Amino acid sequence: MAHCSSEALGPLVERHKEETADVADDRRESALPSTAYAVLGLLTMTGEVTGYELRKWAMNMRYFYWSPAQSQLYLELRRLRDRALVYERTEAQPGRPDKRYYTITDTGRRVFRDWLDHSEVGPPLLKHSVALRLFFGHQTSHSRLREVLTQYAEWARRQQQELSALKGDMLPALRYSSIVADWGVGYFAAEINAVESALASLDAMDSEVGES
Amino acid sequence: MAHCSSEALGPLVERHKEETADVADDRRESALPSTAYAVLGLLTMTGEVTGYELRKWAMNMRYFYWSPAQSQLYLELRRLRDRALVYERTEAQPGRPDKRYYTITDTGRRVFRDWLDHSEVGPPLLKHSVALRLFFGHQTSHSRLREVLTQYAEWARRQQQELSALKGDMLPALRYSSIVADWGVGYFAAEINAVESALASLDAMDSEVGES
DNA sequence: TGACTCATGTAAGCGGTTACATGATTTG
DNA sequence: CAAATCATGTAACCGCTTACATGAGTCA
């Protein structure tokens, strides 16, 4: 019952090897992680900002791209500075660390555009812990599964609302962000819908058991 | 035009701090990464397998949960063995590394069920590089955006087909997997739909420019 | 015979998180 | 006056990837 035959399995093909490698590596010094490009992209929209401010902007992207930890952002900005992709203006402060303002440099703009225009696009990375649990549903109870699913649906609804609110607050000039926001709203709608279907399937399984 | 005011931004609230921490940590030795639970879960369905075989199974979950690198899987199995959550049977082979077969232990089953039943469910992790690029659309051309989007839609369609095929091949006894598969199919449908909407938005922007 | 599958492993390094530390400024 | 915000930083650690290495069996 809880045992799988392996007939459905083909041989183990190692895919996505060269796909993930950046095609344009050869013409740049070395590839940057995607977070770096996210930061550069943000800097093309914001003007001079501190790491702290930038983090707030980064959090607006969390609906389709996770936002990195604070320490990671500061680290990334220093790396970009070392590569002269951003310019750092420091403001001395008595008795505590300098305040650092960042702007994107021309080189940074060029590198960013190059990435946008020529870099290989990989598939999205998804780690869906709710789906994972449902997948292993045979090891738990339906009541627990329902609990997990409804909790997730509530979260998705909140995200959807936040995203809609954010879109309303945004300047209409930011067209691309609003297209992405629509995408996100649709995505959450699909998730909510999927949860409802899953709950219905659980109901169906329960009543089957009742009949037999 | 490409400059944001920061009015839409609230203060930087540090959320999801205790949310990510595992509530049930205190009653176990120490928490395991989610990959470990995925492996344990797989072992509740497969019986005795080698690391190599297990990897093939793990790849069936790649539609909603990324599949780890080969080396990581072997590492994970050894860790689970060290914690006595899986049992390792070695088969000596002349002139090369032992062949290792794994089965889940009773302790492993208990730990896995405990995780399923009591652990806090975090939100899914999503890094959507296509949406990221679209978000920064003001820095590239519409033709490039269209290229990226259509490429992604093709990929999503392929995934959808693979997933449907997989579902067809699967034993009907595996109900939960098939519920998750349906979820996945719907997810890819939503993605394809979102891409089409985005393409339509780009068209609309182009014709606006033509009119003005 | 050569390509592919089966099967396991090591080493280096990176991206990222968690936790901690500090202190001025603003706000209720 | 206390709490939250602004603002930067360090150290330890972990999950995971990449790249490499090995070798037997199978099949065209």
Quick: pLDDT tens for B53-105. 999 999 999 999 999 999 999 999 999 999 999 999 999 888 789 999 999 99
Q: Which residues of B touch A180 (CB under 8 A)?
A: 131, 134-135
Domain boundary among B118, B142, B164: B118
CB contact under 8 A, A12 and B187: no
Q: How confident is the model at residue A94 (pLDDT cuts 50, 70, 90)?
A: confident
Inside any domain, residue A10: no
Inside any domain, residue B91: yes
pLDDT tens, residue by residue, A20-67? 344 444 444 568 999 999 999 999 999 999 999 999 999 999 999 999
Task: Tell me the range of A20-24, A104-108, B31-35 where mean pLDDT is highest.
Answer: A104-108
Instruction: Give me the CA B82–C1' C10 separation in Å, rounded.
Output: 19
| Dist CA B156 CA B162 (whole Å) | 10
Instruction: Look up the protein residue whose alpha carbon has the minimum distance to the C1' of D14.
Output: B33
Same domain, B104 and B41: yes
CB contact under 8 A, A140 and B45: no
What is the model's pLDDT at position A171?
63
Same domain, B81 and B139: no
Smallest Cβ–Cβ distance between A155 and the set B123, B174, B194 belongs to B123
| Dist CA A137 CA B8 (whole Å) | 41
Inside any domain, residue A145: yes
Is A57 in contact with B152 (CB distance < 8 Å)?
A: no
Is A25 in contact with A118 (CB distance < 8 Å)?
A: no
What is the model's pLDDT at position A24?
41
Same domain, A88 and A42: yes
Inside any domain, residue B2: no
| Dist CA A155 CA A204 (whole Å) | 25
Domain interval for residue B186: 129-211
pLDDT tens, residue by residue, B110-163? 999 999 999 999 999 999 999 999 999 999 999 999 999 999 999 999 999 999
Is A39 in contact with A61 (CB distance < 8 Å)?
A: no
Inside any domain, residue B70: yes
CA distance A19 to chain B (A): 13
What is the model's pLDDT at position A30?
67
Same domain, A98 and A160: no
For the cut 70, the answer to whether the pLDDT of residue A6 exceeds it is no
Inside any domain, residue A11: no
Same domain, A36 and A63: yes
Q: How confident is the model at residue B25 (pLDDT cuts 50, 70, 90)?
A: very low
Number of domains in chain B: 2
What is the model's pLDDT at position A209?
63
Inside any domain, residue B148: yes
CB contact under 8 A, A186 and B180: no
CB contact under 8 A, B55 and A12: yes
What is the model's pLDDT at position A208?
79
| Dist CA B103 CA B110 (whole Å) | 14
pLDDT tens, residue by residue, A169-201? 766 568 999 999 999 999 999 999 999 999 999
| Dist CA A105 CA A87 (whole Å) | 6
Same domain, B87 and B110: yes
For the cut 90, the answer to whether the pLDDT of residue B28 exceeds it is no
Smallest Cβ–Cβ distance between A183 and the set B65, B179, B194 belongs to B194
Q: Which residues of B touch A12 (CB under 8 A)?
A: 52, 55-56, 59
Tokens standing for residue B165: 């095929």
pLDDT tens, residue by residue, A112-154? 999 999 999 999 999 999 999 999 999 999 999 999 999 999 9
Domain boundary among B73, B94, B118: B118
First to last CA, chain B: 17
Sheet holding B86-91, edge to edge: B49-50, B99-104, B86-91
| Dist CA A123 CA B189 (whole Å) | 15
Q: How confident is the model at residue B212 (pLDDT cuts 50, 70, 90)?
A: low
For the cut 50, the answer to whether the pLDDT of residue B1 exceeds it is no
Inside any domain, residue A3: no
What is the model's pLDDT at position A23?
41
CATH number, domain of A31, equals 1.10.10.10
CB contact under 8 A, A131 and B65: yes
Tokens standing for residue A195: 């949860």
Which nucleotide's C1' sits nearest to the alpha carbon of A71?
Answer: D9
Q: Strand D: which nucleotides have any atom within 7 A of a protein Cβ?
A: 4-11, 14-19, 22-24
Domain boundary among B118, B153, B177: B118
> CA of B200: which chain A residue's CA is closest?
A179
Same domain, A96 and A172: no
Same domain, A110 and A162: no
Instruction: Look up the protein residue whose alpha carbon has the minimum distance to the C1' of C23.
Output: A96
| Dist CA A65 CA A44 (whole Å) | 18
Instruction: Look up the protein residue whose alpha carbon has the minimum distance to the C1' of C17.
Output: A69
> Angle of helix A175-211 relative to helix B175-211, nearest 10 degrees?
160
Bridge partners (DSSP) of residue A89 are A101
Is B22 in contact with B119 (CB distance < 8 Å)?
A: yes
What is the model's pLDDT at position B171?
62
